[in-house]
Structure 1
Amino acid sequence: MRRGDGPAVVDFIETLCTVTKDSFAGPSGSSLTLRDWQQTLLAHLFARRPDGRRRHRIALIGEPRKNGKSGLGAGIALDGLFECEGAEVYSCAGDKEQARIVFGDAKRMVDASPDLSEAIKPYKDALEVIGSGSVYRCLSAEAFTKEGLRPTRVVFDELHVQPNPDLWNVMSLAMGAQLDPLIVAITTAGVKTDSRGLDSICYQLFQYGQRLAAGEEVDPTFFMAWWGAPDEADHRLEETWRIANPAYGDLIDPEDFASAVKRTPEAEFRTKRLNQWVNTATAWLPAGAWDACATGGPIEDGAEVCIGFDGSFNGDSTAITVVSCTEVPHVDVIAAWERPQQAGQDWTVPILEVEDALRQACRRWNVREIVCDPYRWGRTYQVLEEERLPVVEFPQSPARMIPATTRFYESVMNRTLTHSGDPRLARHLSNCVIRTDSRGSRLSKDAKHSPRKIDLAVSAVMALERAVQEPEPDPTPQFWNWADL
């Protein structure tokens, strides 16, 4: 980046920070040399806007284990001590022991550097810059004790293990009084849920970053860099290890991977070594199965299709998908509405916009059916019927959803459907798990109150179920003239 503090941060780390343990990075006490990918990362992380303000306030950096996260985090924290007079820098983690990892590395860097030792006075759980009032402390997840802080820079280590979002929320809100604060989470992936059974703060931020990358939302204050293997990749192959780990063969010993893959459970290997997310419940579609059906192309205008509509009023999302009525059905997304991250609880789905999207779809294609569950959308159902659009009720009862879910799954696994590769639909499908009872298996979220969206998946399942069926004959409507009776 041409504009920003990245080069200065790189210079600070390489000049004053050291390797704290003997490793592939070098012997303990040697200068910490940042790799090209780390320098590029810092250039983006510390970019500034044309008006001179810092571009990003919140950052999520995902790397598998052993890629130098702790050393980089310690360097970022120490640099923050000299950013301004009275700086407040914190290392945060799920527990005190974890929080002390980055802080401990920073303290050893101070001990090993004459320049830093002259400027910084060390304490058991704090580092203080002599004369400036700047202080660096480590904190654990007991968030209720952290009110009243005014952090200028925060480094969250392994954000995925936070038991709840309390500490993150406290630190994020506390930064509001500072001019250019920065909170950086450097983490590996993990399970998607926290101790409450809800989406972890780390997974929430990861999905938010995905939406930004896909252009679904715009938020220049948020930055995400994520290294990891594709979900469908074979975790046993060296090629996969190299894709996921930017420091493979440099800071990481390849022989360690060859040994670890033989003795580590697959789910743990995927999270810790490949930086992949895993569900606490069994995911519906196997990794890579959906991607294998992608063709990238849209459905041609004028084609015969079925449209799936899964709507909510607030607090969730509303989705419209389309499936071609062809020998090999093709699935695509028409539109989706999700409550934005910054929106309050009073946000509602724009009903008129949803109705107009359905009308436009009927102008574009030869729509056999608009398949929908009319729950909470009775007005729209009535309006579209009055306009003589082909609305068909599809209540999401077990009797309907269980066979439809099975059909969709078999079509994906047998590759007897294709899709356009829309990232929103892929995300909703990845959020689906299977709930099984005496009546059979059907789609669900991983946790009862999870904010993860699955509405595009549900609407696609409904649309496919109707698209592969023979159209029902439309009985000739009967009209009576009351004067003739």
Structure 2
Amino acid sequence: MDGIDPLIARHVPAGAAFPSEGYRVAAWIERFCYLTGSFAGQPFRLLPWQRELLIDAYRLERDGFGGWRRKHRMAVVCIARKNGKSTIAAAIMLYHLVADRADSQRQIIAAANDRNQARMVFDAAKQMVNASPKLSAVCDVQRDVIRFKDSTYRVVSADAGRQQGLNPSAVSLDEYAFSKNADLFDALTLGSAARNQPMTWVVSTAGPDPDGPFAMLCEQGERVNSGEATDPTLFYRSWGPRLGDQVDHLDPEVWRACNPSFDILNEEDFKAAAQRSTEASFRIYRLSQFVRGASTWLPHGLWDSLGVDDTLQPGEAVVLGFDGSWKGDSTGLVATRLADLRVFVLGHWEAPADDAHWRVPMVDVRDALRSALDTYTVRNLVADPYRWEETLENLEAEGFPVEAFPTNSLARMVPATQAVYDACRDGRLSHDGSPALARHIGNAVLREDKYGARITKEFAASRRKIDLAVAMILAVHGAVMWREENPGLIDAPIVATWESDGAVFTFGGSAEFFDDL
């Protein structure tokens, strides 16, 4: 750990898994900060989850010049109310005001959608300063600003107009889930580009809009944590259920799992809140769960339980499912192995959240289709022909087995959806653990009407993609149908290889063929 600031290094314990400024942040908070509210005047003693949060969020990495710097520039925390999020956010901002050595003239911002909400974190910081003899001796506390030497800590809000000209070194953005747009977030994060090691904390309870800016930020965090996306500057932590998870909101064990401070909270208060609140409100505020208006497709935990570490081998017999788009959406190519109904994602192309002009790389998609057809023994390619008619017609003309499956046909999607649900429920289906496919399945909701049940987006304009889930349904349903129509054939091809006169010959066929030989 050579090159770490000595003031940081002395707080990193021997044997630590990785160097982190969080050890120093934690030590500073416990030395100088005092609690507010019901515990006003008591020294700040971090709970285990708070200490772990700081250590993970302030992880250090090599900067390429022989030194160390913060790995993350943004920490996103989705946490239920009553867990002390405003208190810990206030203490972190005071650390940046007084003790952060990454900048000399620091500008610290407490922000929220409206001024009253923004003042909650800021007022908690003021109370901490006033309660601490050492902090009050060096900080000048005014109504809307706390000053330390040449550094300031002030409050801003979205309802005060566009916040331009800011150059924050550290920001706490409170209850972002209730913001209708990302204007304030953009102003705060883009304004810190000139800072050496800026740090933005977005700390919020989940909200009623699963397509809002905070929900999209949480989704990006989930993708980074799962390895589906790469963004080393983003740190994400949540204790609440993921979007699409089904949990019993009346179960005390669920309350405990979703509230890291549950051991110091009042369980009777949770029981009373569960009785007097609507289910949606309880899930939002006490479980920090994004609530949507429709039913999720698969029961909680079912899809995860079907994951298997496996690789699809060249030559194996499969049915392909393809759901394509051309702009602003997602395209998926999925294979289902006929031998065991195991699902593999072969290709996925999705519009980045911040690129309104993105187009599907059609050449890459066509190459992936041809590669799959050449690599595996494809019994059928089940594809939605919308906007891909020419490509599919060309493949069919070349002799490949192509089945057009319009996904807007209720007569076809309803039984297909049911067949795949039954295969999941009965444990006949398994998958390769693709995080992108899991996300798309979690985004899918079940729409039931007189025509039957099928998956769909929550609403047409939703930015939560489900195309991989649709492609999976096409592939699995196609595989189920092929197996039913060919009961006498072994699903996986048997391949015979022999050498003659220096040449290698390979032949694939059914078990019956080789038995006849």
* TM-score bucket of the superposed structures, by smaller chain: 0.7 to 0.9
Contact 1:143 1:170 in 2 (8 A): no
User: Is the CA contact (8 Å cut-off) linking 1:6 and 1:42 kept in structure 2?
Assistant: yes
The alpha-carbon deviation at position 96 of structure 1 amounts to: 1.8
* Aligned counterpart for 2:72 among listed residues 31, 35, 56: 56
Where does structure 2 lack aligned partners over 5 or more consecutive residues?
Answer: 1-16, 487-517
Segment drifting more, 6-15 vs 452-461: 6-15
Report the CA distance shift for 1:202/1:18 in structure 2 as closer, same or farther (over 3 A): same
- SS of the residue 2:61 aligns to: coil
Q: Which of residues 383, 408, 414 is equivalent to 1:397?
A: 408
Query: What is the match of residue 225 of structure 2?
Result: 213
What is the match of residue 261 of structure 2?
A: 247
Q: String of CA shifts for 1:146-176, please: whole Å, max 9, x gaps.
A: 1111111110112211122121112111112
Partner of 1:178: 195
- Show the counterpart of 2:45: 33
Change (3 A) 1:146 1:221: same
AA in 1 matched with 2:163: K
1:8 matched to 2:24: yes
Structure 2 distance, partners of 1:116, 1:358, is 64
| Closer, same or farther: CA 381–65 of 1 in aligned 2, 3 Å | same
Of 340, 351, 367, the match for 2:378: 367
1:77-116 alignment, distance < 5 Å: 77-82=93-98, 83=100, 84-116=103-135
SS of the aligned residue for 1:142 comes to helix
TM-score normalized by the length of structure 1: 0.85
Distance 1:189 1:403, change over 3 A: same
Equivalent residue for 1:140, pick from 157, 160, 166: 157
Q: CA deviation at 1:359?
A: 3.3
1:307 equivalent among 311, 320, 324 = 320
Partner of 1:377: 388
1:19 to 35, 40, 53: 35
CA separation of 1:235/1:345 partners in 2, compared to 1, >3 Å: closer, same or farther?
A: closer
Q: Secondary structure of 1:468's partner?
A: helix
Any residues of structure 2 matched to 1:76-475 within 5 Å, and which?
76-82=92-98, 83=100, 84-129=103-148, 131-132=149-150, 134-142=151-159, 144-193=161-210, 199-229=211-241, 231-249=245-263, 251-294=264-307, 297=310, 302-325=315-338, 329-341=341-353, 344-398=355-409, 399-413=411-425, 415=427, 417-435=429-447, 441-470=453-482
Instruction: Let me know the Cα RMSD of the aligned residues.
Output: 2.8
Q: Distance in 2 between matches of 1:278 and 1:301?
A: 42
CA displacement at 1:185 relative to structure 2: 0.7
Worse-matched range after superposition: 168-177 or 282-291: 282-291
Stretches of 4+ moved more than 6 A in 1?
none
The Cα shift of 1:34 comes to 1.0
Which whole-Å CA distance do the structure 2 matches of 1:347 and 1:88 have between them? 36
Query: Does the CA-based 8 Å contact 2:115-2:160 persist in structure 1?
Result: no
CA distance 1:7–1:146, change in 2 (3 Å): same
Question: Which whole-Å CA distance do the structure 2 matches of 1:460 and 1:415 have between them?
Answer: 16
Measure the CA separation in 1 of the matches of 2:43 and 2:80.
23
Q: How many angstroms does 1:140 deviate by?
A: 2.2
Letter in 2 for 1:312: S
> Contact between 2:162 and 2:184, CA under 8 Å: does it hold in 1?
no
> Quick one: distance in 1 between partners of 2:348 and 2:338?
22
Matches of 2:317 and 2:276, distance apart in 1? 52
Could you tell me whether the CA contact under 8 Å between 1:17 and 1:113 is conserved in 2? yes
281-290 or 452-461, which moves further after superposition?
281-290
1:232 and 1:440, CA in 2 relative to 1: closer, same or farther beyond 3 A? Answer: closer
Deviations 1:392-448 (A, max 9, x none): 211222343333334434444555544344322121011122456675554332233
Tell me the SS of whatever aligns to 2:326: coil
Contact 1:217–1:340, Cα closer than 8 Å, also in 2: no
Q: Quick check: 2:162–2:183 contact (8 Å CA) kept in 1?
A: no
- Please report how far the alpha carbon of residue 73 of structure 1 lies from its aligned counterpart in structure 2 after TM superposition: 0.2
How many pairs were matched up?
Answer: 459
Structure 2 CA distance for partners of 1:19 and 1:383, relative to 1, 3 Å: same
* AA matched with 1:460: M
Task: Kindly provide the CA deviation profile for residues 344-402 of structure 1, in whole angstroms up to 9, marking residues without a partner as x.
Answer: 44433333332333334334543211111222224432443344322221122234333
Residue identity over aligned pairs, in percent, reads 39
- Assess if the C-alpha contact under 8 Å between 2:18 and 2:60 holds in 1: no
Distance in 1 between the 2:473 and 2:312 partners?
Answer: 17
Secondary structure of the corresponding residue to residue 62 of structure 2: coil
Deviations 1:428-478 (A, max 9, x none): 0111224566755543322332221111111122223322225889xxxxx
Compared with structure 1, are the counterparts of its residues 409 and 144 closer, same or farther at alpha carbon in structure 2 (3 Å cutoff)?
A: farther
Contact 2:294–2:447 (Cα < 8 Å) also in 1:
no
Structure 1 residues 123-142: Cα deviation after superposition (integer angstroms, max 9, x where no partner): 2222222x31x222222223
Q: Secondary structure at the match of 1:308?
A: strand
- Is the CA contact (8 Å cut-off) linking 1:122 and 1:128 kept in structure 2? yes
